[in-house]
Amino acid sequence: MASVRKSACSSSRLIPLLLMCLTVAIIIAPAWAENHCSEHRYEHSLNTHHLQFTKEIPDREYGVLKQFKSLHCCGKGYRSIEWFKNNKPHPWSKDVSSFIVYPEAANQTIYSPRLEENDIGNYSCILRNETHAIKHEIELRLQDKLDNPMPTFRPKDLMVSVGESARFYCEAFVGNLYLPDATNEIVWSQMFDDHPHNVSDSMQVNVTREEGQIIGSYLSIPNIQAHHYGRYRCQIVSGNSAQKLNLSVLLSPVQVTAITDTQLSVLVYVMATLLLVLVVLFAWICRTVQQRTSSKKDNRCSAQFIANNEHENV
């Protein structure tokens, strides 16, 4: 009987503690997402104010059941942000989605303290000002134990002139680490003949969010030179898996578009036609002037002949 009472007392003490921990987690969790849109913004967005996205936004996200999850739509120059799930506007009922808007992030972030199965679906955000609107779509999937890292943002190919700057970003969902000595790793390399090399004159910044379940990396090259052009690889290694995720991207110089044979033929035809028109126009003008000159000369001759005849008659 005493052991039962002791167990009841322990349980009664444990429940408030669990509730307190859960409350703290709910309060703290959004704070992790609060600064997401204010960090690592595009350099060109810092001094401009037009409607735009200010950093790379994943088009696919993964979450773990009963754990915190956030989605972001980072932008500026907007008057309003609207969130949709499967084309249904926010706010949502619980049977549609448990996500709520986080006003402290200027409505750029929505989050769920405990991800539910009915939260899975297609989300979209629309940023509007007085004249324009931009939209981004995010597919949210449920994921638990991973066999391999899952890409959430693939780097985009760039064409950049010498002397300008370039920035690449890659990101993947790696989930929770299940082994005590397991670690995640993400590395950028420049590829030469399918062999990785360190990227010269560059800076790599690794980032994490949602307690390390998502890892990403920025590769910035502030002053592009000829040797920077080529293919790059973002390699992500999860401690839960021996298989590596390789994401490739191409950096190319800005090239003048070469004219095709068809375009050249059309251009020659147009120039020849224009030249013919000018020749005909010039010939017509010369003939018209000559006719008018001859007419005036004949008129002067006729007037002189008449005047001479009148003088002789007198």
pLDDT of 22 strictly over 50: no
pLDDT of 161 strictly over 80: yes
Q: Where is average pLDDT lowest: 57-61, 155-159, 217-221, 242-246?
A: 242-246
Which pLDDT does position 131 carry in this prediction?
A: 96
pLDDT of 74 strictly over 90: yes
What is the amino acid identity at position 149? P
Domain residues of the chain, as ranges? 44-144, 145-254
The CA-atom distances, in angstroms, between 86 and each of 9, 89, 93, 124, 139 are: 47, 9, 13, 8, 10
Percentage of the chain lying above the pLDDT 70 cut: 81
DSSP collapsed to 3 states, 211-257 = CCCEEEEEEEECCCCHHHCEEEEEEEECCCCCCEEEEEEEEECCCCC
Which pLDDT does position 202 carry in this prediction?
A: 96
Looking at CATH, the fold of the domain delimited by 44-144 is given as: Immunoglobulin-like (2.60.40)
Rounded CA-CA distance 77/55 in Å is: 14
Q: Where is average pLDDT lowest: 3-7, 197-201, 229-233?
A: 3-7
Rounded CA-CA distance 13/292 in Å is: 117
HSE of 243, CA atoms in CB hemisphere, 13 A: 7
Which pLDDT does position 32 carry in this prediction?
A: 54
Which pLDDT does position 279 carry in this prediction?
A: 86
- Cα dihedral across residues 68, 74, 76, 79: positive or negative: negative
Q: How many CB atoms lie within 10 A of CB 50?
A: 9
Percentage of the chain lying above the pLDDT 90 cut: 62
Judge whether 44-144 and 145-254 match in fold. Answer: yes
User: What's the token pair of residue 65?
Assistant: 């059941």
pLDDT of 269 strictly over 90: no
* DSSP 3-state of 109: strand
Q: How many CB atoms lie within 10 A of CB 86?
A: 11
- Cα dihedral across residues 301, 303, 307, 310: positive or negative: positive
Distance from chain centroid for Cα 64: 26
pLDDT of 3 strictly over 70: no
Q: What is the β-pairing status of strands 214-221 and 166-173? A: antiparallel
Q: Which of 217, 243, 213 is CA-nearest to residue 232?
A: 217
Rounded CA-CA distance 136/131 in Å is: 18
Q: What is the CATH number of domain 145-254?
A: 2.60.40.10
